[in-house]
Structure 1
Amino acid sequence: MTGETIGEVIGDANEAKLPVLAIMRPESYREKSEALARDYGFESFYAPMIRLEDMKDEEFEPFVQRVLEGVSDYVIFTSANGITFTLDKLPEGKRESFTEALKKSRVIAIGPNTEKELVKIGVEKPFLPGDYSSEGIVEALCPEVKGKTVDAARSAYGSRLLIEGLENCGATVFETKVYTLTIPEGELQKELIERTLAGEVSAFAFTSSMMVRGFMKQAEKMGAGEEVKEALSRAVVGAIGTPTANTLESLGVNVDAVPGEFTFEALLEVLKKKL
């Protein structure tokens, strides 16, 4: 054989057969997501359909003061990003006192990734709901929040179910928007749609409703809104959480896989099984 061993040829053939997974998460998740995809036997194609951007609304300073003064009985973070964007807005000297004050409140993490970020900053035992979702948080906290003050730091696109649900349970709820989401458009996004239409993508990992909207917006911009839905029907479509799955279904896209645990790794696991 011309310089190649049999093992190398077989290895190249096996690599060529790997299913292609579309990863559309924000840039900050790219490295970890691609590593997980490799672990689960996928070749990944990365094209972010969401961009995270810092924002500071008028509720931010009052939120910080409530935590520092011990007014907040509960502080809820619905993503690891919410923690990062909160701390990044604080002056360096205030960051440590804010973190110390957090420990005196009951801190809620929506899921394992958010929990890990809290532990990293010294909040060692945040509470996780049984169901990693806004509905799960409301269900877990409802029996105990009547008359309590609850702060939620999250994105500008957070579900109203969390705020309204806790208010209906008798809590005083303050929402602080610490970052926002935008939809990037460029060559990567265009290429993902083209490869989808060509049937070159085996599986799609949708992790939020905003991501779904970004994907469909790009397809429609290219005049391929209906064609891309047909192409998705020939692939395996996965969604983290019921809201994301519902958004896809409302647009006429059948969802093949929704993990029981709302994590990216759990989504890869169910996608792999479906394939």
Structure 2
Amino acid sequence: MTEGKKPVLAIMRPESYREKSEALAREYGFEPIYAPMIKLEGMKDEGFEPFIQRVIDGTSDYVVFTSANGITFTLDKLTETEKEKFITALKKTRVIAIGPNTEKELVKIGIEDSFLPEDYSSEGIVEALCPEVKGKIFDLARSAFGAKVLIEGLEKCGATVYETHVYTLNIPEGAAQKELIERALSGEMDAFAFTSSMMVKGFMKHAEKLGAGETIKETLGKAVVGAIGTPTGNTLKKHGINADVIPDEFTFEALIKAMKKEL
């Protein structure tokens, strides 16, 4: 990076986060280059109706949302009446929010007192809740790619866990993705922000498609690589890439801040 020039940051989050992410990057003195390496799509599995029913009936003792998207994609599928009933019932249930953004999304719908574990990882949640969950019913609304660690851990502690997939993740294909990889290979970027394991997979898939699976690792080795959460860091490691930065707080802003400091 030349003196006086703003460091260039690759942002690869889903389209719906683009505007916010680019604004944050600029605020912290980065020049963003954007191409989504991950795409969110709503889905409804056979567990959805029973999940809504359990919450409304008061059968669920705990409802876990692992992301703000989990909340949005759940509510999207309900009629206004159902939504009202569901939110009213949630207020009487113990709601677990994973990460501050999930908590903010819950506050927006009037759930003020959700439980936010200090450690946002699946292991952290299991550890925090284990002593109190024996014989309790858990409902988990999340993406089709959620790790099994959370379910297995809670079941080991004696809970009954139901999981419903309210959205799925895909890898988008197009000119923007190809261009981002090419610009990365030409050494244009100083930093890369990875916010999920699926994003890492999408990024590597596009690099491999260009026959640059190995070269891109060298490129990333010369840049600052940031990851949100240990699972994302581990996925990078599996691909032979080291994350320079994994912030304690699982938010995009914390990641950008930590990466700026690293630079």
Aligned pairs for 1:62-73 (under 5 A) are: 62-73=50-61
SS of the counterpart of 1:44?
Answer: strand
Give the equivalent residue in structure 1 for 2:207.
Answer: 219
How far has the Cα of 1:137 moved from its partner?
1.3
Q: Does 1:198 align with 2:197?
A: no
Q: Does 1:248 align with 2:239?
A: no
Give the equivalent residue in structure 2 for 1:52.
Answer: 40
Give the equivalent residue in structure 2 for 1:108.
Answer: 96
SS of the counterpart of 1:190?
Answer: helix
> 2 CA distance for matches of 1:154 and 1:163?
12
SS of the counterpart of 1:22?
Answer: strand
> 1 CA distance for matches of 2:3 and 2:157?
53
Q: Cα deviation per residue 1:242-261 (whole Å; 9 max; x = unaligned)?
A: 11101111111121111011
For residue 222 of structure 2, the aligned residue among 234, 250, 256 is 234
> 1 CA distance for matches of 2:249 and 2:112?
21
For residue 73 of structure 2, the aligned residue among 60, 85, 98 is 85
How far has the Cα of 1:39 moved from its partner?
1.1
Give the equivalent residue in structure 1 for 2:139.
Answer: 151
Give the equivalent residue in structure 1 for 2:114.
Answer: 126
Letter in 1 for 2:41: E
Structure 1: give runs of 5+ residues left out of the alignment.
Answer: 1-13
Q: Cα deviation per residue 1:10-63 (whole Å; 9 max; x = unaligned)?
A: xxxx99711011111111111111111111110101110100001000000000
SS of the counterpart of 1:225?
Answer: coil
SS of the counterpart of 2:214?
Answer: helix
For residue 182 of structure 1, the aligned residue among 170, 194, 198 is 170
How far has the Cα of 1:140 moved from its partner?
1.1
> 2 CA distance for matches of 1:137 and 1:265?
23
For residue 246 of structure 2, the aligned residue among 258, 261, 271 is 258
Letter in 2 for 1:100: T
Q: Cα deviation per residue 1:175-218 (whole Å; 9 max; x = unaligned)?
A: 01000000001111011100110010110010111000000000
Consecutive aligned runs of 4 or more in structure 1 exceeding 3 Å deviation: none
SS of the counterpart of 2:164?
Answer: strand
How far has the Cα of 1:76 moved from its partner?
0.2
Structure 2: give runs of 5+ residues left out of the alignment.
Answer: none
Letter in 1 for 2:26: R
Q: What is the CA RMSD across the aligned residues, in angstroms?
A: 1.2
How many pairs are equivalent? 262
SS of the counterpart of 1:137?
Answer: helix
> 2 CA distance for matches of 1:157 and 1:87?
19
Aligned pairs for 1:2-13 (under 5 A) are: none
Give the equivalent residue in structure 2 for 1:17.
Answer: 5
For residue 18 of structure 2, the aligned residue among 20, 30, 35 is 30
TM-score, normalised relative to structure 1: 0.93
What is the percent sequence identity of the aligned residues? 75
Give the equivalent residue in structure 2 for 1:99.
Answer: 87
Letter in 1 for 2:105: E
SS of the counterpart of 2:215?
Answer: helix
How far has the Cα of 1:133 moved from its partner?
1.9
> 2 CA distance for matches of 1:110 and 1:132?
6
Letter in 2 for 1:112: P
